[in-house]
């Protein structure tokens, strides 16, 4: 099923941890989020290690994660949080669209990103999209990132070509699971997965495939379950890396 926040009463606000080493930015972000309603900033962290410790103790619904922080950077902190708290959503806050940094964050479990320079309403929208299991990435950037993954996969395959392999190669458990799941995906699920990888929202997929949004959500839930992915971002990355789908220019 699609990743959901830690179970809470419907009337309870979404619990968020802000991780950034600039106090003025943290303060502005806290004000923005709390004034939007239905959101409670339960803690602020100044570095990656503090973020991990607070996440372990508070189990927030979402962490807004800066990538460049002292002691432990945002990528390492995201990896640790997702390993221990897979239901906690991590949304990257970044000052630039550096594809290398963003790709690293996505690979270790971040659900998407939002630019620090974004309009306030866009930041709020990205938070809600991430919590709802959507893909908070600019669609063109999403395509570029996933194309990069596809190219890296092809390069690895070319490097691994050997006339007489003496030792069988082993796949990561997630890759094995995803490759096996390919046999279980229905044709419609495969279509939905391809559109997810191109950064489409559920509403966009529904319009493109002439389906209801609820039907698309059901398809996404089954895809995540079959791939063993915690969210649609991870599903797209897994699908690219094991060759379930391909991205082209």
Here the CATH number for the domain that contains residue 91 is: 3.40.50.2300
Give the pLDDT of residue 196: 84
pLDDT in tens, 34-70: 998 888 999 999 999 999 999 999 999 999 999 999 9
Whether residues 198 and 132 fall in one domain: no
Lowest mean pLDDT among 29-43, 149-163, 220-234: 149-163
pLDDT at 22: 94
* Same domain assignment for residues 26 and 67: yes
Q: What is the pTM of this model?
A: 0.71
Residue 46, domain member (yes or no): yes
Query: How far apart (Å, rounded) are the C-alpha atoms in residues 230 and 53?
Result: 22
Half-sphere exposure (Cβ direction) of 54: Cα atoms closer than 13 Å: 24
Give the whole-angstrom CA distance, residue 123 versus residue 129.
10
Same domain, 24 and 128: yes
The reported pLDDT for the residue numbered 23 is 94
Is residue 35 domain-shared with residue 104, that is, in the same domain? yes
Of 30-39, 111-120, 199-208, 234-243, give the lowest mean pLDDT range.
Answer: 234-243
Q: What does the alpha-carbon distance between residue 92 and residue 116 come to, in Å, rounded to a whole number?
A: 10
Is residue 6, in this structure, part of any structural domain at all? no
| Poorest-pLDDT segment among 35-44, 68-77, 234-243 | 234-243
Residues 225, 193 share a domain:
yes
The percentage of residues in the chain with a pLDDT greater than 70, rounded to a whole number, is: 74
Same domain, 144 and 111: no
Cα–Cα distance for residue pair 116/96, rounded to 1 Å? 8
Give the tens place of pLDDT for each residue, 9-18: 556 789 999 9
């Amino acid at each position: 099923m699609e990743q959901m926040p830690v179970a809470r009463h419907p009337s309870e606000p979404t619990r968020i941890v802000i991780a950034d080493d600039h106090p003025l930015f943290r303060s502005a972000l806290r004000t923005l989020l709390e004034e939007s309603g239905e959101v409670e900033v339960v803690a602020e962290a100044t570095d990656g290690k503090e973020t991990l410790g607070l996440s372990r103790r508070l189990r927030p619904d979402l962490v807004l994660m800066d990538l460049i922080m002292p002691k432990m950077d945002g990528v390492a902190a995201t990896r640790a949080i997702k390993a221990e708290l897979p239901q906690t959503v991590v949304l990257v806050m970044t000052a630039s669209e550096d594809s290398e940094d963003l790709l690293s964050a996505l690979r270790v479990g971040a659900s998407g990103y939002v630019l620090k320079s974004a309009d306030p309403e866009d930041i709020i929208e990205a938070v809600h999209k991430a919590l709802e299991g959507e893909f908070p990435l600019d669609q063109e950037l999403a395509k570029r990132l996933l194309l990069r993954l596809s190219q890296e996969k092809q390069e690895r395959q070319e490097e691994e070509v050997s006339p007489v392999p003496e030792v069988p190669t082993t796949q990561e458990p997630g890759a094995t699971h995803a490759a096996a799941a390919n046999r279980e995906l229905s044709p419609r699920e495969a279509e939905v997965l391809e559109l997810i990888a191109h950064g489409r929202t559920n509403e966009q997929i529904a319009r493109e495939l002439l389906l209801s949004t609820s039907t698309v959500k059901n398809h996404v839930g089954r895809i995540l379950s079959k791939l063993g992915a915690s969210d649609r971002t991870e599903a797209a990355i897994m699908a690219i890396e094991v060759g379930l789908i391909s991205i082209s220019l």
